[in-house]
Amino acid sequence: MRPLGLNIRDLVIDYPARRGGAKTRAVDGVNLRLDRGEFVGIVGESGSGKSSIANAIMGLASVTSGEISLGDTDLTALRGKRARHARRALQLVMQDPFEALDPHLSVLRLVEEPLIVHKMGRSKQERRSRVREALEQVGLSPAEDFEGRRPHELSGGQRQRVCVAAALIVNPDVVIADEPVSMLDVSVRAGVLHMLDASRRRGNAVLMITHDLPTAAAFCDRLIVMHQGRIVEEGPSLRVVQDPSHQYTRELLDATPALGAHSPSAGS
């Protein structure tokens, strides 16, 4: 098995001030480790810095200080081609599948694109057969019915499946899923989450960002709770939801009736 750890040390992310205002410290000294075969959830309210971490991992947000490394490679020290090459092992599934997908491209091209970018697949034929396989894997079956469609010819759930297929086709070591199911109907949520879980079972690592504690608790091995740019609690999912040690986690749980052991209605 390839040795891998996504290791974040003392991460700080500041966004510059606008029009004389103060800068925003979105992430304030975060340490986080993600190993192969782990499905880890980052939960926390809106604005707590979750997406900033995902974006920094993907090279889409600048890091003010700290280190993000994959195995022995410090991603924050790399630029340009070398950074892109190192991040081959990482794939992002975004919240809004409509925004993430080029409306002019067919499903076939959208899912093939990462293979072309990463120079994977020896021939067009080989790439296309991998695309079909990936589409079948995410339940867009038979693939022939979907590959010619453009994003507007798909439902929201199908678009999200296309995003997951495009992310998983390069067999990434790490999948970063930022609110992967928040726009989806409950009926298709489980399908997408099971796909991420299947990727984890193949030995990859999955980091899911969400403000949905019940979903995170159901699928993740470990939960990280963020509040105002800091990690306030982390531990095995069951322990975090059954025996939270931080007041903020208790507040999050209380806001979730199904899990709110501390809510006034719990047990009644």
Do the beta carbons of residue 58 and residue 75 sit within 8 Å? no
Check binding of 227 to ligand ATP (CB under 6 A): no
- β-bridge mates for residue 8, sequence order: 32, 68
58 belongs to the binding site for ligand ATP (CB under 6 A)? no
Secondary structure E strands in 109-256 = 174-178, 205-210, 222-227, 230-236
Q: Which of 15, 88, 150, 239 is the binder for ligand ATP (CB under 6 A)?
A: 15
- Per-residue binding string, ligand ATP, 170-209, x by CB under 6 A, is ----------------------------------------
Q: Which two tokens stand for residue 190?
A: 């489980």
Quote the least distance from Cβ 184 to ligand ATP, whole Å.
Answer: 16
Residue 161 · residue 138 · CB < 8 Å: yes
Residue 24 Cβ vs ligand ATP, minimum distance, rounded to whole Å: 5
Calculate ∠ Cα 12-17-19, nearest 5°: 175
Q: Which run of H or of E encompasses 228? A: none
With contacts defined by CB under 6 A, name the span among 4-12, 42-50, 188-196, 246-254 that binds ligand ATP.
42-50
Q: Given the rule CB under 6 A, which of 46-54, 109-117, 131-139, 244-252 is the region that contacts ligand ATP?
A: 46-54
Residue number with CB closer to ligand ATP (146 or 219): 219
CB 225 within 8 A of CB 248: yes
Interface size with ligand ATP, residues (CB under 6 A): 12
Q: How far is the CB of 104 from ligand ATP (least distance, A)?
A: 26
Quick check: helix, strand or coil at residue 13? strand
Residue 41 found at the interface with ligand ATP (CB under 6 A): no
